[in-house]
Amino acid sequence: MSPYLLGLHLSGRRVLVVGGGRVAQRRVPALLEAGARVTIVSTSVTHALDDLIASGRVTWEARPYQVGDVDGAWLVQACTDDRAVNTAIAAEAEAKRVWCVRADDKDASAAWTPASGRVGEINVAITAGGDPRRAAGIRDAVVEALRDGTVDARRNRTKPVGVALVGGGPGDPGLITVRGRQLLAQADVVVADRLAPQALLDELSPDVELIDAAKIPYGRFLAQEKINELLVEHARQGKFVVRLKGGDPFVFGRGGEEMLACARAGIPVIVVPGITSPVAVPAAANVPVTHRGVSQEFHVISVHVPPGDARSTVDWPNLARSSGTLILMMAVERIGAIAETLVQEGRSPETPVMVVQDGTLPTQRAVQATLATVAERVTDAGIRPPAIVIVGDVVKVGQEVEMVRAERIP
């Protein structure tokens, strides 16, 4: 017959584990996570179990099993490598009406330990006819589907409320965080930036309202004040709103303004950090923003206005004198003025530069230059936003990586 599946509240309840080998090592952490008071009876234990014992989280009785050990237990795990001992443990448990899991014989076991996983508040437990490997494979598939939103988790009694500011990452839909994807799958309304991972929007349920909050350079523009109003308006209607942004909400994403607008309106806000493009895009182009012996600092600069503009708050002289890596955002249209300023303020015109367009996407491409040549190279290559500009000797590290790879190709 099929087993009757239950979720046990073990908090504060005694669980007996007989055996201290690898099977016990796998099962004890889950029991502890459930709040159980675990007692291990075994002549020896693994190093991992020894650490739990030393920390006081587990009680260890360093001896063989003996009749009477089951007394006071709510659940028993028979995990020894001796079939006769496991049989005796199971018999005592049966006589005392205590559920017992036998690790060595699924058919003789009164209970099975399912392959379990957790995604947020959702617990998944799989039994596959007592086959642990098959159960684990199915568990992994279900957990992954819940994490990435493939399985619809929107219809539940405790859906999030208010607004979630979700960083979608640098562009590749696979680089959004697990938490971000979970919340996106539960949204009633999604307010999406132009730089948010567009492939994720195609996965939204048809009943999700999608609002385009694009800010296209020198093109159409949805004012930030209007975006703030939309977030508050829909949240007040009882809808769960996800503000999906490219990169991280608080790295030149104006997420702080949106959080303040919601706070002033009494709307709860969940903030989900995202992988920011100033770090991710150089990495995707094989350029580390810091490298031992080359650069031990990096600066991220928004160049939405050029050097010398009265609205600029960037200290270009100090940046030019710094030996750190410069990561420039929104800089493509002003790259000539930027390079000229850095050279005038002290950076060598031979400083390496890399400009990466569409970082992490299939359309990613990059040009390499120096401060003296970058403006011309960007124009000749037709580089357009969105793009990240990397200034500094770390660009040479990426070049070295490519050279080593080329040398190893037969």
Which stretches within 18-82 are classed as H helix? 22-33, 47-54
Tell me the HSE value of 305 on the side-chain side, using a 13 A CA sphere. Answer: 8
pLDDT band at residue 152 using 50, 70 and 90 as cut-offs: low
Q: What is the pLDDT of residues 362-383, one digit of tens each?
A: 899 999 999 999 999 999 999 9
Q: Are 354 and 320 in contact (CB under 8 A)?
A: no
Domain spanning 278-401: CATH superfamily = Tetrapyrrole methylase, C-terminal domain (3.30.950.10)
Of the candidate ranges 58-67, 149-158, 170-179, 224-233, the one whose mean pLDDT is the lowest: 149-158
E-strand stretches of 131-236:
163-167, 189-192, 209-212
Distance in angstroms (rounded) separating the CA atoms of residues 254 and 123: 35
List 69, 172, 193, 358, catalytic entry: 193
Q: Give residue 206's pLDDT.
A: 81
How many other C-beta atoms are found inside a 10 Å radius of the C-beta of residue 89? Answer: 27
Percent of the chain whose pLDDT exceeds 70: 95
**Could you give the 3-state DSSP secondary structure of residue 77?**
strand
How do the residues of the chain divide into helix, strand and coil, expressed in percent and rounded to 5?
Answer: 35, 20, 45
Q: What CATH superfamily classification does 162-272 receive?
A: Tetrapyrrole methylase, N-terminal domain (3.40.1010.10)
Kindly calculate the radius of gyration of the chain based on its CA atoms and give it in whole angstroms.
Answer: 29
pLDDT for position 148: 66
Which single residue is written with the structure tokens 């930027």?
338
**pLDDT (0 to 100) of residue 263:** 96
Rounded to a whole number of angstroms, the distance between the first and last alpha carbons of the chain is: 60
pLDDT at position 99 over 90: yes
What is the chain's mean pLDDT, rounded? 90
Q: Is the pLDDT of residue 157 over 80?
A: no
Which CATH superfamily is 14-113 part of?
NAD(P)-binding Rossmann-like Domain (3.40.50.720)
- 5-30 average pLDDT score: 92
Contact 294, 394 (CB under 8 A): yes
Give me the helix-helix angle, 132-148 and 178-185, nearest 10°: 70
* Sheet with strand 189-192: strands edge to edge: 209-212, 189-192, 241-245, 163-167, 269-272
**Mean pLDDT, range 327-337, rounded to an integer:** 95
Distance, in Å, from the CA atom of 245 to the CA atom of 191, rounded to the nearest integer, reads 8
The residue from 96, 215, 239, 396 that is catalytic is 215
So what's the pLDDT on residue 203?
77
**Which pLDDT score, from 0 to 100, does residue 410 have?**
64
**For the chain, which residues make up each domain, given as ranges?**
14-113, 114-153, 162-272, 278-401
Q: Which of 38-42, 122-126, 166-170, 387-391 has the lowest mean pLDDT?
A: 122-126
Question: Region 192-217: what's the mean pLDDT?
Answer: 81
Ranges 13-17, 104-108, 161-165, 371-375: which has the least confidence: 104-108
pLDDT over 90 at 401, yes or no: no
284-288: average pLDDT: 95
pLDDT band at 135 (very low <50, low <70, confident <90, very high): confident
pLDDT confidence bin for 175, thresholds 50/70/90: very high
159 in active site? no
Mean pLDDT value of segment 12-30 = 93
Q: What is the pLDDT of residue 150?
A: 65
Q: What is the per-residue DSSP string for 130-155?
A: T-HHHHHHHHHHHHHHHHHTSS----
Identify whether 215 is a catalytic site residue: yes
Measure the CA–CA gap between 120 and 264, rounded to whole angstroms.
Answer: 28
3-state secondary structure of 70: coil
d(CA 127, CA 5): 9
Give the pLDDT mean for 160-179: 92
Report, as an integer, the average pLDDT of 33-52: 93
From CA 332, how far away is CA 217, in angstroms rounded? 11
| 154 pLDDT above the threshold of 60 | no
pLDDT interval class at 155 (50, 70, 90): low
| Angle, helices 335-344/374-381, rounded to nearest 10 degrees | 170
Q: Is the pLDDT of residue 342 over 70?
A: yes
pLDDT at 222: 79
Looking at residue 292, what is its pLDDT? 92
pLDDT of 313 higher than 70: yes
